A = this chain, B = another copy of it.
Amino acid sequence: MTPKLKMFFSEGALPTPYLAVDLDRVAKQYRRMVKAMPWAKVFYAVKANPAAPILKTLVRAKAGFDAASIEEVRQCLAAGCAPSDISYGNPIKKSASIAEAASLGVRLFVCDSEEELQKIAQHAPGAKIYTRLGVDNEGADWPLSQKFGASASTCASLLRKASDLGLIPYGVSFHVGSQQGSPAAYIDAIHQAARIFQDVAAHGIKLTMLNIGGGFPVQYRAPVPEIERFASEIDAALTTAFGAARPFIMSEPGRYLVAEAGIVCSEVVLNARRELPGQEGDWLYLDIGRFGGLAETEDEAIRYDIVSLRQQAPQRPFVLAGPTCDGVDILYRKNKVSLPSDLKEGDRVALLAAGAYVSTYSSQGFNGFAPLSEHYI
C-alpha cells in the first residue's frame, strides 16, 4: 500500500465499499514498464480500469490505448488521447462501432475471422489490420484465449486477404492470458508469430508490427516474476525470432499498470462461526463480494491479499463471503484469509492490488447494493 493509500485507508472517513487508486503509483508503474521494455510501445488495456483520471495520467505519460469497445474509444479521446494512439483490440465489433471509430480517426483494428475482416474493410476502408493468433494460456490465472484467436495459417490468410480488400496488413497479436506467471508463454508465442511474418513475406506482404499483448502479473498473495525478467526473456526471443528486422512492438498491459496502485476498502458485516457440513469454520461477510466488483474471485482465480488496521492482533483463517443472498457470492473458501479473529461489524479491511478489474465489473445493483465508489488520489 502506498503512503497515500495508507493514509486514506487509516482515516476511515468514507463509506464502504470503495476503490482508491494512487495516480502517482500508476505513473510510476508505467515508467518502470517503459524502462524495462524500451523497445515496446505501451497500449494500456483500458478495460482494466477506464476511469478518466487514469486515462489522463497515461495520456500525459504518452501511452497508447487498447480499447475493447466504441465506448472505450470515446473515453480515450475524451481523456485527450490522439486517435492514432488507439488500437481497437476486440476481435468482435459491431459494424456501427467500426464505422464510428474510423470516423473518429482510429486506424488500427484487430480481427481473427474473415467475417470480421470484411466488416472492417467495409466500414474502415484503408485501416491497418492485425490478426490475433490463438496461443496457449497455460500459466495464466485468468484465461483470455478461450473465445478468440486463429491458427497461424488462418492469420496469414487473413493478412493476405486484408491486402486484397484494400486494407493495410500490419501485424500479428497474441494474448497469453491475464496474470501470466511464466515468461515462457510469451517466448513460444513470439516464435509462432514470426512464422506468420515469414509466411506472408513469401507472398510479398511485409508486416511491420508485433503485439505481444499484456498479462504481466502483479503480486497478490503469491510472489510473481518481476517485469524486468519478462522483459529480458522477451527481448532475447525477439532477437532470436526477428534478428535485425525486429518489427514495431506493441504491448497491452492493463492489470500491471493499475492493480498495485489501488485498494478496495470494505467493512465487515458479520463474523460468525458456521457449523453445517461443508460450511464448518469461521466466516467473515464483507460489504463487497463477487457481484460488487470482485468478479475475478470466480473459482478463486485471483487471490487478493487482505489486511486490517490491526494486523498485530491474533489471527485466524476465515472463509470470506460477500453481502448478497446469492449462494455463489463466496470469495474464498479453499484459499482462506488470515485476519484478526475478533473482527466485528464495522471493522474495515483493505484488499491490496485491487486497482484493476474491479470497478466496471460491479453489478449495477444486485440485491439492491449500489456499485462501490471510486476515488483517484
Taking Cβ atoms with an 8 Å cutoff, the residues of A that contact B are 46-47, 50, 67-72, 75, 89-95, 113-116, 119, 134, 137, 142-151, 154, 177, 267, 269-273, 275-276, 278-279, 283, 285, 287, 291, 295, 298, 321, 323-330, 345-346, 359-371
Q: A147-B321, A291-B295, A360-B366 are in contact. List 7 more A-B contacts (CB 8 A).
A: A47-B367, A50-B368, A67-B368, A68-B324, A71-B368, A90-B323, A363-B363
Say yes or no: B69 contacts A367, CB within 8 Å: yes
Q: Which residues of B contact A154 (CB under 8 A)?
A: 275
Say yes or no: B92 contacts A269, CB within 8 Å: yes
- The residue that A115 contacts in the complex, of B144, B270, B364, with Cβ under 8 A, is B270
Distance A328 CA – B137 CA, assembled complex (angstroms): 13
| 10 A-B residue pairs with CB within 8 Å | A47-B325, A47-B366, A67-B368, A68-B367, A69-B367, A69-B368, A90-B323, A93-B269, A151-B276, A360-B367
Min C-beta distance of A78 to chain B, whole Å: 12
Say yes or no: B146 contacts A330, CB within 8 Å: yes
Say yes or no: A298 contacts B295, CB within 8 Å: no
Q: Most B CB atoms within 10 A — which of A94, A146, A368?
A: A368
- Contact A328/B146 with A71-B369, A71-B370 known, Cβ cut-off 8 Å: yes
Q: Which residues of B contact A326 (CB under 8 A)?
A: 144
Say yes or no: A151 contacts B269, CB within 8 Å: no
Distance A44 CA – B32 CA, assembled complex (angstroms): 54
Distance A278 CA – B146 CA, assembled complex (angstroms): 8
Say yes or no: B325 contacts A144, CB within 8 Å: yes
Distance A220 CA – B371 CA, assembled complex (angstroms): 30
Say yes or no: B279 contacts A94, CB within 8 Å: no
- The residue that A368 contacts in the complex, of B75, B92, B275, B283, with Cβ under 8 A, is B75
